[in-house]
Amino acid sequence: MSKHRIMGLFSDFEQAFAAIADIRANKIHGVSVDDVTLKSPIEHPEIEEVLGERPAHVPKFTLMGALFGLTFGFLFLASAQATFLVQPQGGKPVVPLPSNFVLTYELLILFGVAFTVISFFIGAGMGRKRDTLYSEMVSLDQVGVLLEVDESKAQALKDLFKEHKVVEIREEVAR
């Protein structure tokens, strides 16, 4: 049985929200809310109410990056200074803490930001090819609800979308 990918475009976020709420309430047997992908022109944090809490691991990587910057930064500076003994200066110690704190602070932020951005690119799947079912209306003002379902469920899903005043339904057979 072939899989179908169906995207309903809604002109209003409330209707898309209601449609997903119906899916969550198991209106169509065998279609799980976990298969739903929402595509929206703006950020809708409230969608988690019906979509469930889905993970985003960015903060962990941020913490890792910051800790890495902290330890690497200090050790890098201190070890560089400790191998550069020919140049003691101004009566300061070989490893001066005030300046190393300042620089470690900068490196902490640098690596924190770098890890955050990299984990964002990986976590959000950036840089991949866009879905073939992408609609340019999504970047304007419509909200898309994308599901991959069995052929047998396709009609029921489309009916559900229509119930919620869907503007357009796009469909393709998944490979």
Partner 1 sequence: MSLKNILENWSHYRRGIEQGGHHKYEHMWGMALDLNKCIGCNACSVACYAENNLAVVGHDRFAKNQVMHWLRIERYWDEPDLDKVSDSTSQYQEHGASFLPMMCQQCNAATCEPVCPVAATYHTPDGLNAQVYNRCIGSRYCSNNCPYRLRYFNWFSFYESSWPAPLHLQLNPDLTVRDKGVMEKCTFCVQRIRVAKDKAKMENRKVVDGEFQTSCQQSCPTTAIVFGDMLDPESKVSTLWRTHQVELGKTKQAKQNRELRGYRVFEALNTEPKVMYMERVREV
Partner 2 sequence: MQTKDINEQIKWAQINKDVLSSMENPRMAYWVAVAVCVAMIACAAAAVGYVYTTGQGVLDLYWPEMWGLFIATFIFWIGMSHSGTLLSAILHIVHADWRKPIYRFAEAMTTFSLMTAGLFPIIHLGRMWNLYWVLPYVSDRGIWPNFRSPLAWDCFAIFTYLTSSALFLFIGMIPDLAICRDNAKGWRKKLYTVLSLGWAGTDRQWRHFRKTYLLMACFLIPLAVSVHSIVSSDFAMSIMPGWHVTSFPPYFVAGALYSGCAAIITLFIILRYFFRFEEYMTIPILEKTCKLTFVIAMAWSYLNLIEFAATWYGHDAAAKEVLWDKFTGPFSPYFWAMLFFGSVLPFALAFEKLRRHLPTMFVVSLLLNVGMWLERWMIVSPTLSLSYHPFAWKVVWPSMVQWAVVFGSFGWFGLLFLVFVKVFPSVSMYEVKEMVYHRRRAHEEDQAKIFHRRTSDPQPAIDTPSA
Interface residues toward partner 2, by CB under 8 A = 13, 37-54, 56, 58-59, 62, 76-77, 80-81, 83-84, 87, 89-90, 92, 96, 99-100, 102-103, 105-107, 109-110, 112-114, 116-117, 119-121, 123-131, 134, 136, 138-141, 144, 146
In 33-171, alpha helices (H)? 48-51, 58-82, 97-123, 151-163
Q: 166: closest CA among 36, 49, 6?
A: 6
* CB of residue 95 to partner 1, shortest distance in Å: 4
Site string for partner 1, 97-136 (x = CB under 8 A): x---------------------------------------
Site string for partner 1, 76-95 (x = CB under 8 A): --xx-xxxxxxxxxxxxxxx
Nearer to partner 2, 33 or 169 (CB): 33
Give the amino acid at 96. P
Integer Cα distance of 93 and 139 in angstroms? 58
Token duo for residue 139: 């970047």
CB 161 within 8 A of CB 20: no
Q: Which of residues 47-76 bind partner 1 (CB under 8 A)?
A: 75
Which of the listed partners (partner 2, partner 1, none) does 88 bind, with a CB threshold of 5 to 8 Å by partner kind?
partner 1
Token duo for residue 122: 């990986």
Token duo for residue 126: 């950036």
Which of the listed partners (partner 1, partner 2, none) does 175 bind, with a CB threshold of 5 to 8 Å by partner kind?
none
